[in-house]
Amino acid sequence: MDTYETTTTWEALAQRVRTAGSILVVTHRKPDGDAMGSCLALARALPQNVDIHLVGPVSPTLRTLAGETPFVDSESDPAGDPDLVILVDTGAWVQVGPLSDWLKARRDRIVGMDHHPVGNDIAPDRIIDTSCASATMMVLRLLDELGMGLDGDGVGEALFTGLATDTGWFRHSNADAAAFAMASRLITAGVDRDRMYRLLEEEGTPGKMGLLARALGSMELLFDGTCAVMQLTSDDFSETGAHRVEVEGLVNQPLSIKAVRASFLLYAEEDGATKISLRSKPPAEDAMTIDVSALAVQLGGGGHVRASGARVNEAIPAAREKLVDALAAVAGA
């Protein structure tokens, strides 16, 4: 990985946005609530012609969140040639995937906002702030710098989506005073938190419940019960009728076990590769702490200390062996 640090100021970043005639917003492949919320907030708030180009799949829930805000979901190059490209919620080449060559050809037009600690030199002008609980916190900071605040239909809901989902609805350790202050500001501005929870967390399908049952049925407790490992095969998806985007949140379930300090979900992607979701609990007295971002980096991925992901270009058995070997170094096997 390159040296990944801030290279510009909010004032300079805002000026680049002001002077751009056309803007394209991109994020990591398979966007989550924070990625989609960041893209939607920018598209809804900025006065320019702002297009969103995503590399999916995009979950039905996030499509509902988008509403009438248009976006393109494609692995092909974006259409047109925008004056400015805003890259949000990532800075890693591996996460932008098929957009890599297109972005490299327009590197001088890219600005970035990311709250992850590891990335590459994709955006020459970028702000990296790992203290932010979500990328939408950074988007709000940009909008404030531009004097736009929460003006615009649905801007607050988009910002709240990223904040709520990346903090686990304010249960994770990153839900600090700044996160609660932003939530308070958004609710005061009119965001209906109950409606947002229903939309984002209570619109699941029977297929997702089937996936949960199969994931829990596969669970193994390793390293004296401190690590839970689950898996979902291609057959699990086809037999339950669930889509891969519906795995969101399943990895968190074993963390309800007192002794479990970290949880891992491996699932087969359509091309035969294995996606690994990694989660861990915050420090506790007399309990082991696992930095899953360090594990993810060893597996070719990245993310946060408590929530990360990786993609291994091998089937589940080989990917699981790599994960367990990496875990052995930190879990004391």
Both 47 and 162 in one domain: the answer is yes
**pLDDT at residue 1, as a whole number:** 54
Q: Mean of the per-residue pLDDT values for the chain?
A: 94
- As a whole number, mean pLDDT of residues 108-115 equals 98
The predicted structure's pLDDT at residue 321:
96
Q: Edge to edge, what strands does the sheet with 22-26 contain?
A: 72-73, 49-54, 22-26, 84-88, 110-114, 125-128
Residues 140 and 232 in one domain: no
pTM equals 0.88
Domain boundary among 169, 201, 233: 201
Q: How confident is the model at residue 306 (pLDDT cuts 50, 70, 90)?
A: confident
**pLDDT value, residue 303:** 82
Q: Is residue 128 domain-resident? A: yes
Residues 6+ apart with CB under 8 A from 217: none
**Does residue 171 share a domain with residue 42?**
yes
Here the CATH number for the domain that contains residue 278 is 3.10.310.30
- Does the pLDDT of residue 96 top 60, yes or no? yes
Instruction: Give the pLDDT of residue 317.
Output: 97
**What was the pLDDT predicted at 20?**
97
Is residue 305 scored above 70 in pLDDT?
yes
Q: How does pLDDT run across 56-67, given as a tens digit for each residue? A: 999 999 999 999
Confidence (pLDDT) at 332 = 59
Half-sphere exposure of 33 (CA within 13 A, CB side): 25
Residue 69 C-beta-side C-alpha neighbours within 13 Å: 28
State yes or no: pLDDT of 316 exceeds 80: yes
Please indicate, yes or no, whether residues 218 and 178 belong to a single structural domain of this protein.
no
* Residue 297 and residue 275 share a domain: yes
Task: Give the span between the Cα atoms of 26 and 55, in whole angstroms.
Answer: 9
Number of domains in the chain: 2
47 CB contacts (<8 Å, ≥6 apart)? none
User: For residue 155, what pLDDT is reported?
Assistant: 97
Identify whether residues 167 and 278 lie together within a single domain.
no
Q: Is the pLDDT of residue 324 over 70?
A: yes
**333 pLDDT above the threshold of 80:** no
**Predicted local confidence at residue 304, as pLDDT:** 83
Give percent of the chain with pLDDT exceeding 70.
Answer: 97
Range with the poorest average pLDDT among 24-28, 114-118, 183-187, 326-330: 326-330
Residues 130 and 262 placed together within one structural domain of the fold: no
Instruction: Tell me whether residue 5 is in a domain.
Output: no
Query: Do both 211 and 191 map to the same domain?
Result: no
Enter the tokens of residue 73: 């979901």
Please report the pLDDT score of residue 112 as a whole number: 98
4 found inside a domain: no
> In this predicted structure, which of 126-130, 151-155, 283-287 has the lowest mean pLDDT?
283-287
pLDDT of 286 > 80? The answer is no
Final residue of a domain: which of 152, 185, 201? Answer: 201
Distance between start and end Cα atoms, the chain = 28
Q: How confident is the model at residue 107 (pLDDT cuts 50, 70, 90)?
A: very high
Phi-psi region of 240 (alpha: psi -120 to 50; beta: other; left: phi over 0): alpha
29 and 45 assigned to the same domain: yes
Specify if 3 maps to a domain: no
Mean pLDDT of 208-215: 96
In Å, how far are 210, 245, 275 from 242, measured between CA atoms? 8, 8, 16
Q: Residue 178 belongs to what domain range? A: 10-201
Q: Using the 3D structure, point to which of 136, 171, 201 is the last residue of a domain.
A: 201
Distance CA 197, CA 255 (A): 21
- pLDDT score, position 288: 72
DSSP string, 300-314: T-EE-SSEEEEEESS
CATH number reported for the structural domain that contains residue 138 in this entry: 3.90.1640.10
